[in-house]
Amino acid sequence: MPGQKIQIFDTTLRDGEQVPGCKLVTSEKLELALQLEELGVDIIEAGFPISSPGDFNSVTEIAKLITKATVCALSRAVEKDIEAAGLALKFAKRPRIHTGIGTSDSHIKAKFNATREEILERAIQSVKWARKYTDDIEFYAEDAGRTDNDYLARVVEAVIKAGATVVNIPDTTGYCLPQQYGDKIAYLINNVPNIDKAILSCHCHNDLGLATANSIAGVIAGARQIECTINGLGERAGNTALEEVVMVIKQHKELDLYTDIKAPLLNPISRKVSDIMRMNVQPNKAIVGSNAFSHSSGIHQDGFLKDTTTYEIIAPEEVGADSSKIVLTARSGRSALAFRFQKLNFQFDRNDVDALYQQFLLVADTKKEVEDADLEKMALAHQQNSLATA
């Protein structure tokens, strides 16, 4: 496998499950955890054990069930949270505690009414508490996207010294531009003296639609873990979509990065998550949307039918999607019409298609999409007409 590995930290069962209407019961979380492991994610964030007895139970059961992936539990920088996370992970083969605190001035003042020095101490203390339960400790500097870089570097250095092996740099509010987020990661790599003892993780929200771009900028700058969810589910406008970052990394070989995700399982798991969470996927969603491999304009259809790579950079089977579709609308052209007639077993020559195309446009102007039944009707009428005039 070429290049450097990017760890995929899936938080569908935690950040994704926070979405209103997406709450899961233990049996549903277990079913998804198994599929995430099969997909090849490196870390499954199973839940937030202190938040409810049900979630404590879910994390406990996932920890027992999962054998290959690391199972992670979230906590605040609060002793009883960390204790709950540690206990819920008791049976995990590879347990990770994810603890942290807000580090931006907005969080320090408005949420904690504290000072930077006090927050630094609480951050260090949280990692020390977590070490009682596991050596795999991830620290999150919440709202790192809006945290002053000098202060952030001090926090990162201190938590690594205290024992954190992964430091999460969340763009909690989805505020950063890709360049800014990448620069932040580069700044930490260049200014934290003990950075070689930990890896940096990207956790980017999508409030400005930049989550995927920011995560990719983060790994280009040297982060080695991406936190993401299936279908980009997550608080507010969502989190980074797993399927997007995985396919960006796979498509852009020049990045010299790879993940262990089995791409053909991306569409099946997307559908499973959508069903269980009762959250539809937008049709134009990259990789897993129902239109991701549909072609409807005449110019695109003509090119696609000559050579699929003219308009598709990924073959649908590569990501487990249904075959590409040629959709007929009033913007479609003759090649697409001829192709669809052929699929319906009608053999028409160029003159036939020319004649049928005019009828097709009349129907197409009255509908969103021309269906097989419309085409059959047109084709049969055309055949009868041809016989009558022969």
Name the site residues for ligand KIV (rule: CB under 6 A): 15, 140, 142, 168, 170, 172, 203, 205
CA–CA distances in Å: residue 49 to residues 46, 61, 65, 174, 338:
9, 12, 16, 25, 58
How many angstroms separate the most distant Cα atoms in the chain? 93
- Yes or no: say if 115 and 108 are a contact pair by the CB < 8 Å rule: yes
Rounded least distance, CB 164 to ligand KIV, Å: 13
* Closer Cβ to ligand KIV, 35 or 172, answer by number: 172
CA–CA distances in Å: residue 355 to residues 159, 252, 302, 343:
73, 45, 18, 18
Rounded least distance, CB 192 to Zn ion, Å: 22
* Closer Cβ to ligand KIV, 45 or 61, answer by number: 45
* Closer Cβ to ligand KIV, 98 or 382, answer by number: 98
Rounded least distance, CB 97 to ligand KIV, Å: 12
* Closer Cβ to ligand KIV, 226 or 370, answer by number: 226
By CB under 5 A, the residues from 340 to 369 that bind Zn ion are none
* Closer Cβ to ligand KIV, 81 or 302, answer by number: 81
Rounded least distance, CB 213 to Zn ion, Å: 17
- Phi/psi of residue 71, each to 5°? -105, 130
Neighbour-count burial of 121, counting CB atoms closer than 10 A to its CB (0-12 exposed, 13-18 middle, 19+ buried): middle
Rounded least distance, CB 340 to ligand KIV, Å: 46
* Closer Cβ to ligand KIV, 78 or 355, answer by number: 78
Token code pair at residue 253 = 């070989």
* Closer Cβ to ligand KIV, 102 or 178, answer by number: 102
- Yes or no: say if 173 and 207 are a contact pair by the CB < 8 Å rule: yes
| CA 253, 258, 264, 268 torsion-angle sign | negative
* Rounded Cα gap, residues 348 and 350, in angstroms: 7
With binding defined as CB under 5 A, does residue 244 bind Zn ion? no
* Closer Cβ to ligand KIV, 184 or 300, answer by number: 184
Rounded least distance, CB 83 to ligand KIV, Å: 18
CA–CA distances in Å: residue 248 to residues 66, 191, 222, 243, 258:
27, 28, 16, 9, 10
Rounded least distance, CB 205 to ligand KIV, Å: 6
Residue 140 interacts with which of Zn ion, ligand KIV, none, CB < 5 to 8 Å by class: ligand KIV
Within 13 Å of residue 269, how many CA atoms lie on the same side as its CB? 28
Kindly state the number of chain residues that form the binding site for Zn ion, as judged by CB under 5 A: 1
Rounded least distance, CB 269 to ligand KIV, Å: 21
By CB under 5 A, the residues from 14 to 43 that bind Zn ion are 15
Secondary structure of 186-206 as H, E, C letters: HHHHHHCCCHHHCEEEEEEEC
* Closer Cβ to ligand KIV, 172 or 214, answer by number: 172
Rounded least distance, CB 138 to ligand KIV, Å: 9
- How far is CA 250 from its chain centroid? 14
With binding defined as CB under 5 A, does residue 171 bind Zn ion? no
Residue 142 interacts with which of Zn ion, ligand KIV, none, CB < 5 to 8 Å by class: ligand KIV
**Residue 194's CB: how many other CB atoms inside 10 A?**
12
- Yes or no: say if 82 and 130 are a contact pair by the CB < 8 Å rule: yes
Neighbour-count burial of 132, counting CB atoms closer than 10 A to its CB (0-12 exposed, 13-18 middle, 19+ buried): exposed
- Where do contacts with Zn ion occur on this chain (CB under 5 A)? 15
